[in-house]
Structure 1
């Protein structure tokens, strides 16, 4: 058997899956959680040690249950822009800045004022979530720590280092989030100097490898930690949702992968460079040679729904199911409420970390079901707004594949499909990131020639969910309200966000 181990480091925990390439099926999955800390509003941090401990726990449990089989290849996919500042031996110097941490909003604004040509590959600026603005923030606010830092990296790079002892950045992450010029194959020191971090390139992993390339063999220490008797090849991975494109087999232009989780990510590739105003990219060669990767999405999505059900309403899983059932009885727009999903800013199409969430139309007659229903509609409308921008740019969208939280929340899935007004494929394998990571592991281990072959080997069919066209017509009206409310409230949102930042830092 050709067995492959896929690792998916998400916001709340790590999921580990073992895939049989010959049988084209997942043999089993295990998960272990780790905490997130929010020391200030808008900040989010995690401990890399917690990632490593959770990985060992999940992997050992999975492999023990499956009889300690030998594995041919391993690949990790992680949240993007979860930034680690550490020594060269991997020792973290502070908690990692989680991807959703938006403390570097001012630094993001500063990148937008640069005219360096490499920024064209990221749409003209860096998001507050990304590594470079976060490094800029640390240089300005924690200068002693910045000076002591020998390696700035992401969760993926730190995990791969712990697995192999080699520092090697992913060409995907570097191109999409670090201002790596994948056309010329280098960083631009002049840009980093302009941004106040002239030595940043020297602190980044010095090897940049394409997705699916071998990094190194698993170390003996890491093999013991994972519960493996052999030392398979570790293949280069990438951003969790983006690696899901391999698992969904959505590598061709015109195909869109939409993964719903804490955030929502919309991903597609182009055959050639073209303007994608409002989106991130196009990133040359980020996933495949000769293709331009484009990223869109929402910073807050499933996290908004969880915030309402867990933090505000204090519901457990059963209570959440009851809430969804009650909310499902409300027709589209029937609550009379309108929710904006910008709880942690907007990724696309406004690229504005200073926007904030809102619920409009509240009265004393509204209950929890109405609030939750409005939140679901708001998140769905944000996805529809992304596809609206694709249409405006003339970008074809002939196929949509979705996975993640949609498969576990039928109300969210239906609202999204109806808001889009398009058929959506829901694969039978819900965790496309693990499946895609296993495909990349097969490439790194030499079991398949490239990512295209890997995608064909691991992807599985699923069901097609059709939209309710009457509901879609109502969502089209709500989208107009959503856009109007965004425009009207944006100046106030930015003032409130600036005031919060000022008061927090004073």
Structure 2
């Protein structure tokens, strides 16, 4: 049967929404649906979600996407999931347990961006255990072991009552199939599981104060499989009814959302190891694939079979990217006015600001957008530096801001923010190259990839071509690829990537403003260093 007559579903659970898409096996998106989900932020900085709300949103979006695509349940051959690397805590009855305020028992997820475990991460790092070599030498409070240690120390009753601690994507496949098999992607990347050796380091668990997990590994995962592996007998009768699909539909072991974006993009050129996957969403993640292990200080990994089975992965990124731009813009006096105008025009605020920038350029054809940035420098690390400095205490710097209050200055602030994200990306690329993991091009997915202006700024700032793929939802595509492999439509993930992902456009770095970007990149690094020196004074 032709590939265009066979269909799979990809489900992406991001920080703020759930999306589902129906694809044919050529990678064409036939129908998509989105549902917002609640992010609970407390006064003490905790960030939590509800797994039951998320599962309801998954079911709704799968049904809606199938309806939009006009594809009947019996025509869906497989389904794949991805999700943020958030921690789900389940009790003996397989219902969620409260990870924060006991008055909110439905909030059973510690969201990836929650930094409540900062001190626990620092204590783990102080032990300098050999396991930490595989997270760039420094564990992040975004990872799960510090969060588990926080739960043990601050919510002991919940910690003791928990039967299963799960990464969110493993929770989703558990709800879909009843299988307790865990994906090697989140466990290797966020739980310190040694994927290349296929084992937990029990001495490490004892050393960091989580020895009871070493005594009962079923709580964190005993049977671990690579992404795309079919789980159990597929969808249970109950899950199939909720999703509007047929029982037994194959379900794939899933991925972290950013890694699904990698699967949906890096195979498009046929040169997987030459491509860096860059998923630009609320945060930004970079995934670099190598044939052998490469150790890069400040960059997570190397992880074996954590994205493309059989290959190694280095993972970097920025703790806040889209969220950093959003917060930066919210500080400007013209933010409310511009938001109102953007809404009236039916555009997101960033898209509207780009439209204004291009309109201004039309009135001054002898100038360039880069000229607007003169004297304005930004380090948008509102939520710390994930890579390559591995500094969760880093904070943002804005240098050169005047007293302008108009929309035009807000446009300039936005452009400077995007440019700064590009300099952060370049730092990761340059650091990896020094240690033997150089790349030729950046395969982008996420909101920023849809803007030609943003792509050009990123290409110029990072000094690498920025490549988009034909699918407008490459993260969803990555999950759908897993579903196709689980269904047996392709022999392996690498084959499915080549068949379902295709290059759309390549944005080359411009030489016109190369020296200006070099100067601004140097300033970016100096402001980072100055911020580190001054933050404790």
Fold conserved (TM > 0.5)? yes
Partner of 2:285: 265
Aligned length: 493
Counterpart of 1:324 (choices 340, 354, 357) is 354
Judge which range, 29-38 or 271-280, deviates more. 271-280
Counterpart of 1:233 (choices 250, 266, 280) is 250
The answer to whether the 8 A contact 1:90-1:162 is kept is: no
Which aligned pairs between 1:326-345 and structure 2 lie closer than 5 A?
Answer: 326-327=356-357, 329=361, 330-332=369-371, 334-345=373-384
**Residues 424 and 461 of structure 1: CA distance in aligned 2, closer, same or farther (over 3 Å):** same
Partner of 2:101: none
Partner of 2:34: 31
Partner of 1:74: 79
The answer to whether the 8 A contact 2:265-2:443 is kept is: yes
Question: Which secondary structure does the structure 2 equivalent of 1:296 belong to?
Answer: strand
Which aligned pairs between 1:421-500 and structure 2 lie closer than 5 A?
Answer: 421-493=463-535, 495=536
Q: Does 1:60 align with 2:99?
A: no
Partner of 1:402: 444
Structure 2: how far apart are the matches of 1:249 and 1:338?
32
Question: Which secondary structure does the structure 2 equivalent of 1:236 belong to?
Answer: coil
Structure 2: how far apart are the matches of 1:332 and 1:90?
57
Partner of 2:119: 106
Q: CA deviation at 1:332?
A: 4.6
Structure 2: how far apart are the matches of 1:422 and 1:121?
27
Counterpart of 1:368 (choices 387, 399, 410) is 410
Partner of 2:9: 5
The answer to whether the 8 A contact 1:281-1:295 is kept is: yes
Judge which range, 240-249 or 130-139, deviates more. 240-249
Judge which range, 355-364 or 304-313, deviates more. 304-313
With the length of structure 2 as denominator, give the TM-score of the two structures. 0.87
Q: CA deviation at 1:88?
A: 4.0
Which aligned pairs between 1:25-424 and structure 2 lie closer than 5 A?
Answer: 25-40=28-43, 42-65=45-68, 66-70=70-74, 71-80=76-85, 82-94=86-98, 95=107, 96-201=109-214, 202=216, 203-216=219-232, 217-250=234-267, 252-309=272-329, 313-314=335-336, 315-316=339-340, 317-318=342-343, 320=349, 321-327=351-357, 329=361, 330-332=369-371, 334-365=373-404, 367-424=409-466
Aligned CA RMSD, in angstroms, stands at: 2.0
**Residues 332 and 102 of structure 1: CA distance in aligned 2, closer, same or farther (over 3 Å):** farther
**Residues 294 and 339 of structure 1: CA distance in aligned 2, closer, same or farther (over 3 Å):** same
Question: Which secondary structure does the structure 2 equivalent of 1:487 belong to?
Answer: helix
Judge which range, 162-171 or 61-70, deviates more. 61-70
The answer to whether the 8 A contact 1:439-1:457 is kept is: no
List per-residue Cα deviations over 1:2-35 (Å, max 9, x = no partner). 31111111111111111111x5422111111101
Q: CA deviation at 1:59?
A: 1.1
Question: Which secondary structure does the structure 1 equivalent of 2:293 belong to?
Answer: coil
**Residues 405 and 332 of structure 1: CA distance in aligned 2, closer, same or farther (over 3 Å):** farther
Structure 2: how far apart are the matches of 1:189 and 1:338?
46
The answer to whether the 8 A contact 1:384-1:416 is kept is: no
Q: CA deviation at 1:230?
A: 4.2
Mark the runs of 5 or more structure 2 residues left unpaired by the alignment. 99-106, 362-368
The answer to whether the 8 A contact 1:421-1:469 is kept is: no
The answer to whether the 8 A contact 2:325-2:380 is kept is: no
The answer to whether the 8 A contact 1:436-1:458 is kept is: no
Structure 2: how far apart are the matches of 1:174 and 1:263?
20
Q: CA deviation at 1:410?
A: 3.6
Q: CA deviation at 1:327?
A: 4.7
**Residues 177 and 322 of structure 1: CA distance in aligned 2, closer, same or farther (over 3 Å):** closer
The answer to whether the 8 A contact 1:75-1:235 is kept is: yes
Mark the runs of 5 or more structure 1 residues left unpaired by the alignment. 497-506
**Residues 348 and 306 of structure 1: CA distance in aligned 2, closer, same or farther (over 3 Å):** same
Question: Which secondary structure does the structure 2 equivalent of 1:229 belong to?
Answer: coil
Judge which range, 369-378 or 137-146, deviates more. 369-378
Structure 1: how far apart are the matches of 2:71 and 2:310?
42
The answer to whether the 8 A contact 2:266-2:276 is kept is: no
